[in-house]
Structure 1
């Protein structure tokens, strides 16, 4: 047998083994270990100051080592803008893959989120000044090295995973620390929009498209409901009363400020349902039924009058339990420097600060011709004024484009950018291959980082195909 023939047979055998692995990996979902193993890492507060190097805080991390074997990889999840346990429970893919890869699973909580708070007054100035992408990336680099030493894994390669903001961080980790992270799966990562590249108004057009694709009459009826709401507001004495009653608001609308707050509250529901339009019941960021966009449309089309149409449509998100007698729009939505919303609680304060410093999450367009909402722009000037008043900071709108602009992905390597065409964040991501080593995958029928979730029988067919490519690509990184 010649050497070339032997190599060919070995190559074919490896492909067959990989194919069989893929075919059996996603038949049933392995249970995600709960409660997770938890610990804290003594993390440096300011990685970029020689004067403050002795200041530290406790950074929380979760891990699972039962599948790990010597020299196996570390699957590292880059924590997002929230408590890390929520991402542990909604990133089933890494738990599916770990047994076959002999992997150690490590989830890092992002500084200033969850329990990883540097100060008692973390969300006030001057204490919040240490919250930045650069500091978070350095945290992850030092944490990885520390965990490698603690668990005797110094020879283990690291693959970074992340979705949305976490996906951005996964890609940034590979670009900035390639000697620490061997490859990254960045799911639904809007790296272009946050860097100020592209048109952010496409986000709301994508939300509208999801509703239009569910039923063209649905998006038209929702658009009409917003139009009627604006018309009613022009006669505030009568209009605000009618709106408050028909929307079943806990607190009546009393002025223009509260009226626009209500409109943004309503828009936020459609945004979230489009993002989380999974084909099965899920409790990620909200408890929602399968295909919530379809359910929302069904409810909207069942209502006769415009304002009840709006109420029934947003109720799928804000009242999924159907136990609320009224909507407290002032507590269910908080306006901030991110036009898509910052969430609630302390995590929303941290994200608001990040949106005020490094992110481009504004939309200067007041156009409504291509979306189903009324004009609710958030301009760069408005963001600047808000951030100066709220936090005493001026946004660095050009910073991310300088550090992680389009050019960097053309020179990087070992990154998968995956997106779903139902996800309104898709337009802000990397949608074409940048090179043979930085690839783009599109999940047809996929919502926000669906590929990172546990495989489900109701997943669209493309989910299985995309995960197969991801597995094969990760394997190739580790074999190289």
Structure 2
């Protein structure tokens, strides 16, 4: 799986679909991957290992572990800066050491490029398992301290003490890039914080509100059709006599069983995730790092939802689900909440959620919230309210709703939320990306500029350039480079 350095905040959909092979879409708007996205033609860098502290905030704890990192020296010129790509909530992909906009910048300024994998993700295993007791060492603060220690030691061992370091990251790693500059200004000279949700919030219904607007930007009827389908499904879930038909309609792996509101919410959220994932990453260029499903777009989904030959909107909604399964070569859809609980409470590094699901949900329960609930009338889905998300914190990690609320408040108190006071941080965001609702979309100061890119989705400016890129995306990349040029002279 390759999710970095633009994090996989929509983790449930990624967890379900990421391992499967993409097929070709039937409807207009399902684009094929372009020729330039094949990474097999380039030799990827070897993984390297850095001795890291387990607990940076307890001097009496001397335990250490090995953290994975990658190096690209191809563009480095003596005296040049150091670019540090920050890993996030999934395995670090070495493809980013060969492709990406940051390397275009690196070539122009002669930068040495490093990428550090986030603790508890990928192959960076600080503890023997993922027990809740061990996960107490997983936090953004520990991750920032990892970055700081890595920066200090690498500067000493590689003779880079007087070099200017620039941090890069997208999504959660984008937040880390901003916070690294904020909390360790003596170690990092500037940061590019792409699609960074810097404000923590327990309830995040605005995510689905942006999904509505993004679908409507393609076709005003599209989100209305999705809402009608979701409402119809919600009504049918109230009658057990419909379960056999629903099982068949959505090609479920086992007969639908709705015994609790959690069962219903999980099923409804799983289906909504088909749209959430496509909107978040609409028409991006993730294919270069091996991510599948990038050929499915908002245009394609809305075309399917508008296909009257399929019958009522409910049928079209089911057709979307079947298309996603076909695309990822899934024989059936596992919509069992009990199976999900089983996977998420497996604490082994070999467990089905060890790729990042169990770890990231822990971070949401202990730092960020970010729960994409249906607690808003201005969004197209039904049936997975905040209480459904919060209960998982208690079930998986014994974190109460009160503890969650306090943890989120502490996060904003520590990092300042939207009220960041620093210099030399640029905040690119895409207007289609739902995460921009928790990001910086307007300049804070001239030295804390925002780059708001209309028509683009999550982390779009980070991916390799293509001929079909929107003009505003091309201009955004150029603007960010000009800022870096200016800041590196300071």
TM-score of the alignment, normalized to the shorter chain, above 0.5 = yes
Following superposition, the deviation at residue 313 of structure 1 comes to 2.0
Q: Quote the offset at 1:383 in angstroms.
A: 5.3
Note the C-alpha offset of 1:57.
0.6
Residue 319 (structure 1) shift: 3.2
1:169 matched to 2:169? The reply is no
CA drift of 1:86 comes to 6.6
Q: 1:201 to 1:284 in 2, by over 3 A?
A: farther
Report the CA distance shift for 1:325/1:44 in structure 2 as closer, same or farther (over 3 A).
closer
SS, match of residue 209 in structure 2 = helix
Residues 469/81 of structure 1: CA separation in 2 closer, same or farther (3 Å cut): same
Q: Is contact 2:164–2:488 with CA below 8 Å preserved after alignment?
A: yes
Judged with a 3 Å threshold, the aligned counterparts in structure 2 of structure 1 residues 324 and 387 are, in CA distance, closer, same or farther, namely: closer
d(CA) in 1 for partners of 2:330, 2:389: 33
The answer to whether structure 1 residue 390 and structure 2 residue 404 are counterparts is no
SS for the counterpart of 1:220 is helix
Q: In structure 2, the residue corresponding to 1:145 is in which secondary structure?
A: helix
Q: Secondary structure at the match of 2:443?
A: coil
Q: In 2 relative to 1, CA 158–33 (structure 1 residues): closer, same or farther, beyond 3 Å? A: farther
Query: 1:69 Cα deviation (Å)?
Result: 1.3
Counterpart CA distance in 2 for 1:281 and 1:67 is: 23
Question: Which of 303, 308, 311 is the matching residue for 1:298?
Answer: 303
CA distance in 2, matches of 1:155, 1:314: 54
Distance 1:284 1:352, change over 3 A: farther
For residue 40 of structure 1, report the CA deviation from its aligned partner.
0.5
Is residue 372 from structure 1 mapped to residue 377 from structure 2 by the alignment? no
Shift of the 91–315 alpha-carbon distance from structure 1 to 2, 3 Å rule, reads farther
Q: Post-superposition shift, 1:246?
A: 1.0
1:462 Cα deviation from its structure 2 partner: 0.6
Q: CA deviation at 1:429?
A: 0.5
Which residue matches 2:275?
Answer: 270
What's 1:458 paired with?
468
Aligned to 1:40: 49
Deviation at 1:125, TM superposition (A): 3.0
Task: State how far apart, in whole Å, the 1-side matches of 2:46 and 2:103 are.
Answer: 14
Measured on the aligned residues, the alpha-carbon RMSD in Å equals 2.7
Q: Is the 8 A contact 1:69 1:102 kept in 2?
A: yes
Corresponding residue for residue 416 of structure 1: 426
How far apart, in 2, do the equivalents of 1:279 and 1:41 lie? 32
Asked whether the 8 Å contact 2:195–2:429 carries over to 1, the reply is yes
CA distance in 1: counterparts of 2:53 and 2:408, whole angstroms: 27
Instruction: Report the count of equivalent residues.
Output: 437
CA distance in 1, matches of 2:459, 2:340: 24
Distance 1:92 1:115 in 2: 22
Structure 1, 299-308 or 435-444: larger mean CA deviation = 299-308
Structure 1 unmatched ranges of 5 or more: 1-27, 338-342
Q: Distance in 1 between matches of 2:441 and 2:90?
A: 26
Q: CA deviation at 1:149?
A: 2.1
Partner of residue 25, structure 1: none
State the alpha-carbon separation in 2 of the partners of residues 455 and 406 from structure 1.
31
- Which of the numbers 134, 137, 149 marks the counterpart of 1:127? 134
Task: Name the CA distance, whole Å, in 2 between partners of 1:149 and 1:33.
Answer: 30
CA distance in 2, matches of 1:160, 1:454: 18
Q: Where does residue 206 of structure 1 map in the other structure?
A: 210
Q: 1:126-155 CA distances to partner (integer Å, 9 max, x unpaired)?
A: 222111111100000111122222222222
Task: Compute the TM-score of the two structures, normalised by the length of structure 1.
Answer: 0.84
The answer to whether the 8 Å contact 2:70/2:114 transfers is yes
Aligned to 2:14: none
Q: What is residue 400 of structure 1 aligned with on the other side?
A: 411
Q: CA deviation at 1:320?
A: 1.5
Shift of 1:298: 1.8
CA distance in 1, matches of 2:340, 2:95: 22
- State how 1:355-366 maps to structure 2 within 5 Å: 355-362=364-371, 366=375
CA drift of 1:475 comes to: 0.8
- Contact 1:279/1:290 (<8 A) preserved: no
Task: Check conservation: 1:431, 1:441, Cα contact below 8 A.
Answer: yes
Greater relative contact order structure (CA < 8 Å, 6+ sep): 2
1:328 equivalenced with 2:334 (yes/no): yes
Question: Take 2:363 and 2:123, find their aligned partners in 1: how far apart are those partners?
Answer: 18
In structure 2, the CA distance between the partners of 1:46 and 1:279, relative to structure 1 (3 Å rule), is closer
- CA displacement 1:49-84 (0-9 Å, x = unmatched): 0210x2001010011012111111111011110101
271-280 vs 64-73, greater mean Cα deviation: 271-280
> Matched residue of 1:295: which SS?
helix
1:51-450 equivalent positions in 2, closer than 5 A: 51-52=60-61, 54-85=62-93, 88=96, 92-121=100-129, 123-192=130-199, 194=200, 200-236=204-240, 238-257=241-260, 258-278=263-283, 282=287, 286-290=291-295, 292-302=297-307, 303-321=310-328, 323-330=329-336, 334=340, 344-362=353-371, 366-367=375-376, 369-379=377-387, 385-393=391-399, 394-395=403-404, 396-406=407-417, 408-409=419-420, 411-450=421-460
2:20 aligned residue: none
1:32-61 deviation per Cα after TM superposition (whole angstroms, max 9, x unaligned):
954123211000000000210x20010100
TM-score normalised over the length of structure 2: 0.83
Corresponding residue of 1:50: 59
Structure 2: gaps (5+ residues): 1-35, 346-351
